[in-house]
Amino acid sequence: MRAYDADAHVEESPETFADTYFDPELRERKPQVVELPGQGPVWVIDGRVWPRRTGRGAHHFATPAAMGEIPSAYSATKHDELGSITLTDVKARIKQMDAESIDRQVIYPTLFLAYPLTDDPRLGTAMCRSYNRWIADVCNQQPDRLQWVCTVNLGDVNDAVAEVRRGHREGALGCMILGTVGEQTLDDSRLDPFYAALCEENMPLAVHVGWSSPALGSLYANVYDSLILPFTMTLLTGFVHVVGSGVLDRFPTLRIAFLEAGCQWIPFILDRMEHYYEVGVGRGRWPVRAKQRPLDYVRGGNVYFGFEVDDRLLPQAIEQVGDGQFLYASDIPHGDREWDSVAELERRTDVAAESKQKLLITNVERFYGV
């Protein structure tokens, strides 16, 4: 079976922010790649280094993958060629997809898995817009195989709305955000024009794991802790605030997915939400902003989840939520992914064949509306 990959990535390069794509008024401040002694290539944005792998607020992502044409030490350990990692060689990515039984792939960014990259909303928007323009051009080289989602700067909601509409015109299948906007939660009414624009354009929203809460991230000073906790917990925070706080009542046509945290958190969080919904509503202890039970929203058809092909609780999550709500994702070319994951899922004997078809193809098509 050849899969439809709901969430693959590109590791950005200087081409992502080339003058062709970047706001002319801000070109002098566009992201730069430099070699940092002892760490290798890093991004410098407004004098700050990304990623920062030591000290309070430590985090890790693989971009930049190279210094010029020389792969980083981390990139050199991967299955993927450098041109596939950075999408500077689209044919290399197609070759990798064919090797892993992937027919189509939706590309997500890597650098934008941290927020805020800058304290200047204008520069944040310029970076998002440059990325979106660049990835559209890249994917248009092989539009039958590569597709993309736009990324937006929710630090300026008006600009985010404009980028959603522009992205839709340029062929974006959806939009990616993180689980918080800094210390702002996703149920904040300030974000309503953004959700309204997505519904009007019939574009799905993907909430991705990432380092989006500096306050939470500052509790951790090494990458191991940071990947386990703040990287993932912000996604769970986003889920609770979208499903439990009335966002889906205000925007009932919004399709939304929660990606790259596996699926084993779902039974735990949903059980907790169901319990306290019952305490709040059924026993009248406190007001609950959502009009329905959490499980009702999740089983209603518009809430989707990523999963890992080796998640031990995948059968239990499917039983709880239904097999129509899970999206296969390869996570190519990130270094912690499961290689040849389509084949690994197909070998599982505890997931029904008809469910595998949904997870690998049908659900992804329905989520993205293709």
- How much is the pLDDT for 335? 86
Q: Distance from first CA to last CA of the chain, Å, rounded?
A: 19
Q: Positive or negative, the Cα torsion across 58, 180, 235, 88?
A: negative
Whole-number Cα distances in Å, 43 to 11, 15, 306:
12, 13, 28
pLDDT tens sequence for the chain (370 residues): 799 999 999 999 999 999 999 999 999 999 999 999 888 999 999 999 999 998 999 999 999 999 999 999 889 888 899 999 999 999 999 999 999 999 999 999 999 999 999 999 999 999 999 999 999 999 999 999 999 999 999 999 999 999 999 999 999 999 999 999 999 999 999 999 999 999 999 999 999 999 999 999 999 999 999 999 999 999 999 999 999 999 999 999 999 999 999 999 999 999 999 999 988 887 777 788 899 999 999 999 999 999 999 999 999 999 999 999 999 999 999 988 999 999 999 999 999 999 999 999 999 999 999 9
Q: Is the peptide bond before 287 cis (omega within 30 degrees of 0)?
A: no
pTM score, whole prediction: 0.97
Backbone angles phi, psi at 258, to 5 degrees: -120, 110
Spatial separation of the C-alpha atoms in residues 59 and 123, rounded to whole Å: 22
- How much is the pLDDT for 126? 98
Which DSSP letter does residue 12 get?
-
Q: Which ranges of the chain would DSSP assign to H, the alpha helix?
A: 82-86, 90-99, 121-139, 157-170, 192-201, 214-217, 223-228, 230-243, 247-250, 265-277, 294-298, 314-321, 341-347, 353-357, 363-368
Q: Parallel, antiparallel, or unpaired for β 70-71 and 66-67?
A: antiparallel
Spatial separation of the C-alpha atoms in residues 151 and 160, rounded to whole Å: 9
- How much is the pLDDT for 285? 78
Nearest-10 crossing angle of helices 265-277, 314-321? 40
- How much is the pLDDT for 38? 84
Identify which of 211, 338, 203 has the alpha carbon closest to the alpha carbon of residue 262.
338
- How much is the pLDDT for 357? 98
DSSP characters over 245-295: TTHHHH-TT--EEEESS-STHHHHHHHHHHHHHIIIIIS-SS--S-SS-HH
Nearest-10 crossing angle of helices 121-139, 157-170? 10
Residues 6+ apart with CB under 8 A from 97: 5, 103, 105, 145, 332
Identify which of 163, 77, 169, 91 has the alpha carbon closest to the alpha carbon of residue 126.
163
